[in-house]
Amino acid sequence: MKAFFITGFQRKAAACLLILAAIVFMKTPLGAEEEEFSLQVYLSKKQALELAFPGADSIEKKKIWLTEAQREAISTISLLKVDDRRMDFYIGMKSGKAMGYMVIENIIGKSFPITFMIVMNVDGTVRDVEIMVYREPRGYEVRSESFMSQFFGRDAEFDYREINSITGATLSVRAITKGVRKATASFKVLFLDSSPAR
C-alpha cells in the first residue's frame, strides 16, 4: 500500500479554501436567498381584464408590429429607449365602440420585473394603473391608491417628473412611471396620430 503524503503546498491551499469559505459564510446573511425573491400575485390576466373593462360586450387583443419610425416617435415622446418590435393592446368594446385600452407591462424594479396594467380612455388619458404581480421583497407601497392616483387623467404630454416618489420604493416608483410613460406615448403614436394602427 502506498503512503499518501500531503505536501506543504496542498496544506496551504486547503487552509486558504477554508478561510475563504468562512468569509463567504459570515458575509451572507441567513435567509438572503428568500429575501431576494418574493412572489405576490394580486391579479390574474382574466381579473385584470374584467377590472379594466367592466360591462364590456367583448375584449379584443390588437397586436401591433412597430415600424422603426413608430419606435423612434414613442422614444422621443416618452423620453425612453423603446426597442419593442411589437406591442399588444387590449380593447374593451361596448355597443360596437371602444370603451378603453389596456397595456400590460413587465419592467424591472430593483432586481425582478413588476407586472402591471395601464388602462387608458379613448382620448389617451390614464384611467387606472394596477399591480398584477410583484416580485420584490420591498417597495410594495407602490400599490397604494395615494401613489397610483397620481397617474389618473395624465397623458403623453404630462411631465412625469412631477410624480411624487415613495421612501424605500424609489426603484419600483421609477419602474411604474416608466411603464405609464411608455404606454401613453405608444397610445398617442399608434392610435391618436393618424396611424394605420387605428
What pLDDT digit, counting tens, does each position of 1-16 carry?
Answer: 555 455 665 566 555 5
- pLDDT recorded at residue 79: 96
- pLDDT recorded at residue 34: 47
- pLDDT recorded at residue 138: 86
Quick check: is 17 in a domain?
Answer: no
Banded pLDDT at 140 (limits 50, 70, 90) = confident
Quick check: is 182 in a domain?
Answer: yes
Q: Given the C-alpha cell 468569509, which residue does it identify?
A: 23
Alpha helices in 28-169 (DSSP H): 32-36, 45-52, 68-78, 145-148
Quick check: is 40 in a domain?
Answer: yes
Quick check: is 86 in a domain?
Answer: yes
The whole-angstrom separation of Cα 47 and Cα 195 is 30
Quick check: is 89 in a domain?
Answer: yes
Q: Is it the case that residue 17 has pLDDT exceeding 50?
A: yes
- What is the domain count for the chain? 1
Domain span at residue 59? Answer: 36-192
**Helix/strand/coil for 126:** strand
What is the chain's length?
198
Answer with the residue of higher pLDDT: 102 or 21.
102
Quick check: is 47 in a domain?
Answer: yes
- pLDDT recorded at residue 37: 74
Sign of CA pseudo-dihedral 37, 108, 144, 163: positive
- pLDDT recorded at residue 33: 43
Quick check: is 98 in a domain?
Answer: yes
Mean pLDDT of 141-152: 96
Q: Is it the case that residue 68 has pLDDT exceeding 60?
A: yes
Q: 90 - beta bridge partners?
A: 61, 102
The whole-angstrom separation of Cα 86 and Cα 82 is 11
Element (H, E) at 134: strand 126-134
Quick check: is 125 in a domain?
Answer: yes
